[in-house]
Structure 1
């Protein structure tokens, strides 16, 4: 039986997933949807019906949808501005539903802890839709590293860039009250997460520098951090550059150098003179497949604990930058699947 799914937020990411999911071998039953944009709702309904499925029921807001449909759903997918993630995740959990939640899970660690408490009270699952957490390509390299193939991890560097400033001009992503930050909070969070996912380790210390270039949100910056084991990590971010969006994460081991894309689209492994390249692709189908498996009792590769750790990291990066780049210590642990 396919997953009975409700959708809270029908924007571009939700629409992209809908196209992939409805064309899959076991498409979900998209039962009900809600969004503040009539155009987004119309587009989403069109995607579902063009795939040959019945049109989902449309509700004016999430509260109305959950009140009317909780008994007809197994789970909800929340894809709203970041400021509403905590509200809708908690409401869905209270209604007895599993939650697939867009990143970042919350605006700060305090909100993240409230989501964890709601999950525990409900006894349901919550999966955060970070592509790197759900990427079979990245998981495969983590397992090879942990099996000892590459030797000790010595250092990590990474970068991500995008024409984020012009790409999202006028969008809610550039309203900090809705987004929780700017480019580094948004696109940059994928880089923070990818470091954890490919190494299997959390952050222990961090110092950060953020620059807004005169805007009300950060656009460029960098961090110097350590992950567990005392491994140094240097990450840089630029959200106001030439059109495009690319990333590279480089991991230097005793016996290998691994470079990969933070969304799990490609990887290059150098072992001596031997270089191998692998293509993965963003796992649109894997997001739903893994979420469905987790809802059915499988282990969760993208937990709320991991996103609590990232929320604390973001809190400390902002604090470090405001206090002159002082190094700060993290107290949470991500509990990454080994």
Structure 2
């Protein structure tokens, strides 16, 4: 293969750019942070958009036109990706779930190869999920309320051990959550798109068609699935009502999988112990959403996975895929245009 022009389209620390450039002498890596959005935290791949001068705008346009490979999507006019980058063959995305973005940009069902950051966010998201589950399983809101009211009330306590979780999406994030829950004596069933044997840490593998029959046993319902035609609005009032009293709902997948009004109603009635949310249907969450006012909700602004280690882990995937790309071998974490994730 001849030389390959690689354009880095979101901020990376210089040492990681140097690692990419050192992967192979056939790579020509173009990184110009002065043309990119300014990051708000170390692993921010959205950032604050810059106002480019005419000269800078022209430079960025020329870089995109020459790109064979991109690290992240163009930030300026991403919907014009295919026209402004006619040589582009592959984009390494910086998020695990790119289905909605691909559809919005009109890139689904095109010939563009896209790889995701699947697996990078498994540890921080699993930690967030576990923290929220423990928060409600051990009734920490009740202890906090008693402290505020200066109430000393000895009594029985609840525990996490012995509970069962149903995890929708048994990929790397869902699997990591099941692994951490197992340490605390929680069994987990994994819900998958296609029937397959999951093995440990899952005690059972369920198809999505069989999910309704298993909701009554779900002390903890975890959503860790991408958004597709099959998963959108899959958890509504009927599904939430099927959960046992005191169940905990966790969503670290995509907000559109859960009917948020039905979730708020169940929380207000007290049939659920709590909800642990890293995502919402509309982001930022609108001020009028009832979720803001509920003490039984832990709400993260889609930031639970924004750990300092994120950039290095994504670059590890990118470098491995660059070697595969140059050698003509299959890439890791390929986006499936047909499935939408």
TM-score, normalisation: structure 2 = 0.39
Which one has a bigger Cα radius of gyration?
A: 2
TM-score, normalisation: structure 1 = 0.39
